[in-house]
Structure 1
Amino acid sequence: MSVKPQRKRIALRALGAAAVGALAWITATAGLPGGESQRANPAALVADEAPGYAVEDFSYPLADKILAEKNIVLKRGDGHITLADCVSGAGLLEIMARDKADKICFKVVGDSGWLTLEIPAVYAVKGNDYTTEVDMTVGAEEKSYDINKNSWTPVGEAADEEGRDHLLVEIRSSK
């Protein structure tokens, strides 16, 4: 008896589908670990074993350690403005604050960046090759300053007619 090639393919497909169905039935009725609840809901098995979602909250890494060691509050940012060692070279944003003996430096990378922080009594910022703006507060009042590229810009109490202490709260830079 000769079977035409088209009928042979149809027969093989049907046999394959039957085998897959039988395997699925065996797995669903006896082969899943974890008891009845997972047999009733096989998706639960996969969901329980899958890793959780990674949600970026933009919190500054090691902020608690930096606060303890340097008394600088670094809150949130996009990772393109980071605290740097001032001796690490040129191209850094440099910040002078009255209650800090040394400069505080930040490295900027990428096309743009932002960082929220708290540094009290800031009176000068030296820019780098980026266009930079800083936001400061004094009491309930907020002030923004455009920072000169590659030179010092008076900000806060140095630019305030009343000489009031200003808190640096945000840095934004872009190319």
Structure 2
Amino acid sequence: MRFLWKASALAAAGVAVAVGGGTLAMAAEDTATPASLVEDFSYPGRDKILADHGLKLISGDGNILFVDCNVAGDVIKVESYDFADYVCFQVRGDHGYLSLEIKRATYIFSENQPLEAELKYDGVEQTATKQVPENYWTTIGEAENLPSATVLEIRA
């Protein structure tokens, strides 16, 4: 009787190892390479915005969005010689970040909250940070008798 019990236990262990080993082998064979979960913060739809509006949006945190200038809410307006009308953005939330490129900019306006704009002046190696108070048209570049300015970043 003792012999049968040992034989049954060994047989059950062998079946478990065989089944378990087969399952592991199948799992290894069926595993596909997962898609990357790394976020690069590229601005969604940036190629279409560039094609449709001539506006180069690079990346951001999703809290500063390119919008129609007639939208209600916390609107940021950038005036540039390169655009017939203002280029407008809306801040969603308490803060935001947007990397972009608006050349020949002359003014920045923020409706409800202060901003910082990172600028690159023509002929100047270093970038400059400009404080933009709320509800105030801030001059930049040629509007303040300086070389032409490119807006590189907006931070709210």
Same-fold call, TM cutoff 0.5: yes
User: 5+ unaligned residues in a row in structure 1: which ranges?
Assistant: 1-14, 33-37
Looking at CA atoms only, which structure, 1 or 2, has the larger radius of gyration?
1
- In the alignment, the residues of structure 2 paired with residue 90 and residue 107 of structure 1 have an alpha-carbon distance, to the nearest angstrom, of 7
Change (3 A) 1:100 1:27: same
Shift of 1:145: 0.9
Shift of 1:28: 3.9
Structure 1 stretches of at least 4 aligned residues deviating more than 6 Å after TM superposition: none
Structure with more of its chain in helix, by fraction: 1
Aligned residue among 66, 84, 94 for 1:83: 66
Change (3 A) 1:23 1:102: farther
Q: Does 1:44 align with 2:28?
A: yes
Shift of 1:91: 1.9
Aligned match of 2:155: 172
User: 5+ unaligned residues in a row in structure 2: which ranges?
Assistant: 1-8
Shift of 1:23: 5.0
- In the alignment, the residues of structure 1 paired with residue 15 and residue 51 of structure 2 have an alpha-carbon distance, to the nearest angstrom, of 60
Shift of 1:22: 5.0
Shift of 1:26: 3.2
- The alignment covers a number of residue pairs equal to 147
CA RMSD of aligned residues (A): 2.5
- In the alignment, the residues of structure 1 paired with residue 71 and residue 54 of structure 2 have an alpha-carbon distance, to the nearest angstrom, of 20
Q: Does 1:103 align with 2:47?
A: no
**Which protein has greater RCO, CA pairs closer than 8 Å, 6+ apart?**
2
Aligned match of 2:143: 158
Shift of 1:144: 1.4
Shift of 1:50: 6.8
Moved more, 49-58 or 60-69: 49-58
Change (3 A) 1:23 1:127: farther
